[in-house]
Chain A
Amino acid sequence: MLALGLISWLFSRAPERTLDYLDRKFASKPTIRDANAAAFRAGYALGETLEGVAVRYEVPPAPAKPGTYRQISGNKALALGLMAAAAKADLDLFLGAYPITPATDILNELSAVKDQGVMTFQAEDEIAAIGAAIGASYAGQLGVTSTSGPGMSLKAEMIGLAVMLELPLVIVDVQRAGPSTGMPTRTEQSDLNLALHGRHGEAPLPVIAASSPGDCFHAAYEAARIAVEHRTPVILLSDGYLGNGAEPWLVPDLATLPAIEPTFATASDLVNGTFLPYRRDAKGARPWAIPGTAGLEHRIGGLEKADLTGAVSNDPDNHERMIALRQAKVDAVAVPEKADLTGAVSNDPDNHERMIALRQAKVDAVAVPDLVVKDPDADADVLVVGWGSTWGPIDAAARRVRAAGGKVATAHLTHLNPLPANTGEVLRRYRRVIVAEMNTGQLLTVLRARYLVDAQPYTWVKGQPISPSRFSAHLLTVIAEEAS
């Protein structure tokens, strides 16, 4: 407290806020309150009277949008984002979770709000946690499961099932340093490969990454919106740095958030008296027909489906047609009107190929905003691309570079699958592209493979956020190379 008082004087901070906090914190323990306040005041007074300190700093408030602010941690913001999405969609929220660092706080946060339409289920293991969430989604709720790396590995088979069932599901991965148990309390972005590719078979799904503690709210809202409206599992990537980190947060107004429409299937979805559980809408989403709806009784499961109907089938032609259909959706070819919307089990190769194409197309059909580039004078040669929690360190490093007279552009990805449509164009606009991430180059590999650009890595796997000072020094070297 003495040191805090001295530092408060050194940085010209008014002491009232700290003293008010002590009043509230120790309201029921006046002795402790007074002792803390006395120590704090003594430190402040020491600064005023100590002649040995020559410099005193004044840090002006950071520029911020007008509005009501609060302090928020990433895990708390993420929990609130899920609640907001469920409330706006008029769905009950169901979290299935197993305790794991650093994601446990999401379970704790949501367990504290059972009076707001939230049910939490602490399962016997990671698999049961996601299984119950899928069950809840099947029954008509917003099913969510939250975990970290080891839990993601365990959930992989269930995520594949959710891709096949085509039900809404949000899978939250608060990443930590891996592999295996790794460094549970340290941060990393090394689950991107797992999120994008970590399932057997062709199992595409949308991937969203939060970029700051407060952004966890908006990323969670977006993940839930896509899951509900597109009937797909969505992986939401946070990490230990975001989850446990906190920042001032502009409290969102629920009224201004985009609407989320779950639109359950009803008897009006019958086609000539038959329900077709794999008949798709314009987005490629299939009907969400929940138990209790008479006339829509149907069976789903992990086996390949006959498009449209859902009958058990080993017909080779059907399988091939389904594969072709899934591919056709990727290629933006119109889905044949009467082909195969039943949801019946099918080993038909055509059917399988079409279903793969349809599932991929469904992911590709998620409307993703364009990648925004921050290039103040529009004349930089070097572009830094980041995703997730590297937003803060990258932005700080770029500001240092600019302060030192360097030119650098930055762009930050929130949607990792599908990627923004303009990503390739943005990457090709710059002579040098640096992909900065807390792994050994997972996004880099995706961008190089997808866009054939000679992007270079800046990798950092120390279990800590990227150091802005070291990264800015690296950038200045790269910029100097380009200039010569």
Chain B
Amino acid sequence: MSIELDAAAPVPAAEPTAGREGLRGVPLALNALSKKDFASSQEVRWCPGCGDYAILATVQGVLADLGIARENTVIVSGIGCSSRFPYYMDVYGIHSLHGRAPTLATGIALAREDLSVWIVTGDGDALSIGGNHLIHALRRNVNLNILLFNNRIYGLTKGQPSPTSERGKVTKASPVGSVDAPFDPVALALGAGATFVGRALDSDRAGLAEVLGAAAAHRGASVVEIYQNCPIFNDGAYDAVRGPEALVRLQHGAPVLVGGGEFGVVREASGKLALASVAEVGIERVLVHDAHDPDPSTAFALAQLIDSSGLTRAPIGIFRSVDAPVFDDDARAQVRRPRGEERLATLQAHLHGKDVWQVA
């Protein structure tokens, strides 16, 4: 394979935010918390072998590690298997309506700077019935952490094609194969202007925890697509990408390598990204990942490296993490909140207005 390369890979910028801007204003826990402190008394009711169990355990661990007060953590979900998530977390939670979690979460985030607000949603919930709310939460850049459990199937309703199912999906609702083209959630999020976009695997606890921790630390809308296996209705959807050979791990400042380092992502003269043998082109020609690049086009090009029809390889990690104005911060900054007598006196004057007359 002969590839014409550009001159040199760009050098990544420094970390855009120091520390944990995403949690600014949220009180810390008085005592150190453990994973167990975040488990509610509810019996967890997902199917045996569901990828959601591993994600739940990882999220509980991540929240404990963040060290924020449990009572200042809110999880909002929509409808679907994954949306039962809040019941299993001993924090404040709302199991809302199908597709609508971002709407309630936006209201909560606008109302209270002192809360860490998380959304748990699925591919049907976030991308089908709730697609509109998702893209608007992202373009506004509301300070939310959106966990999008993607099992590429409708599981709660027992197996229909979802917006991320591959073309030709055979289900009870599509007995001769679906004819819908799928969305790629990462590409969609990048297109909607998301300021933090990550992807992780349900079974890769360390990788998932790293991306979730970074999502929480990011101020603004963070969306994390989690490849989640549904053992009942879409078993093995991600088997092909679970081995180290198929994973394309994105690390800020590191070359993007595939297949255990044998191949690397290179930029062609046309600007497109492609795979090349590292031995052939040399490691210095391999694209160095810059998650903080204000221009999302390279991140979008990385998202295209997914082979969604057969899914034989997939980049995981943090595609993009950039600073931008945060909707709820800016909206709150416009509001003044007088209290008590001052508020009543101001309002009484406002009730009178400028043009009054007296009746004796």
Contacts and interface: CB of A to CB of B under 8 A. Distances in A.
Contact of B339 (A80, A90, A128, A143): A90
A87 interface: yes
Interface stretch (B84-92, B182-190, B255-263): B84-92
Contacts of B77: 301
Contacts of A294: 69-71
B103 A83 contact: no
B107 A131 contact: yes
Interface stretch (B3-11, B167-175, B345-353): B345-353
Chain A CB within 10 Å — which of B41, B72, B97, B104 has the most?
A: B104
Contacts of A228: none
Nearest to B72: A292
Interface string B82-124: 0010110111111111001011111111111011000000000
A143 B336 contact: no
Contacts of A255: 344
Interface string B301-313: 0000000000000
Interface string A106-141: 000000011111110101110111111111111111
B82 to A, nearest CB: 14
B103 A132 contact: yes
B332 A119 contact: yes
Interface stretch (A68-76, A205-213, A453-461): A68-76
B176 interface: no
B338 interface: yes
Interface string A237-258: 0000000000000111111000
B158 interface: no
Nearest to A94: B111
B96 A302 contact: yes
Contacts of B94: 135, 138, 165, 299-301
**Most B CB within 10 A of own CB, among A80, A119, A161:** A119
A69 B356 contact: yes
A70 B352 contact: yes
Contact of A94 (B40, B110, B352): B110
Contacts of B109: 135
B108 A136 contact: yes
Contacts, number: 215
Contacts of B332: 119
A201 interface: no
Contacts of B95: 299-303, 345
B42 interface: yes
Nearest to B331: A119
B270 interface: no
Interface in A22-79: 61, 64-71
A301 B86 contact: yes
A311 interface: yes
Interface string A277-321: 000000000000001111111111111000000011000000000
A441 interface: no
A252 B349 CA distance: 11
B102 to A, nearest CB: 8
A84 interface: yes
A437 B179 CA distance: 51
A251 B47 CA distance: 62
Contacts of A165: 94
A345 B87 CA distance: 9
A83 B112 contact: no
A254 B97 contact: no
Interface centre among B41, B89, B107 (most CB of A within 10 A): B107
Interface string B134-152: 0010000000000000000
A96 interface: yes
Given A121-B106, A131-B96, A302-B97, A297 B112 contact: no
B345 to A, nearest CB: 9
Highest count of chain A CB atoms <10 Å: which of B86, B335, B360: B335
Contact of B347 (A128, A254, A298): A254
B118 to A, nearest CB: 12
A145 to B, nearest CB: 10
A67 B115 contact: no
B185 to A, nearest CB: 19
Given A131-B103, A298-B92, A301-B94, A138 B108 contact: yes
Contacts of B343: 87, 116-117
A23 to B, nearest CB: 13
A251 B356 contact: yes
Contacts of A94: 107, 110-111
Contacts of A296: 71
A135 B106 contact: yes
B101 to A, nearest CB: 8
B133 interface: yes
A251 B111 contact: no
A406 B97 CA distance: 55
Contacts of A251: 351-352, 356
17 contacts: A67-B359, A92-B337, A114-B335, A124-B136, A125-B132, A128-B133, A131-B102, A132-B103, A136-B110, A137-B107, A140-B111, A254-B351, A291-B92, A291-B115, A301-B95, A302-B96, A345-B95
A-B residue pairs, 8 tightest by C-beta: A135-B107, A131-B103, A301-B95, A132-B107, A135-B104, A139-B111, A124-B136, A299-B93
Interface of B: 27, 40-43, 45, 69-74, 76-77, 79, 84, 86-87, 89-97, 100, 102-112, 114-115, 132-133, 136, 331-332, 334-340, 343-344, 346-348, 350-353, 355-360
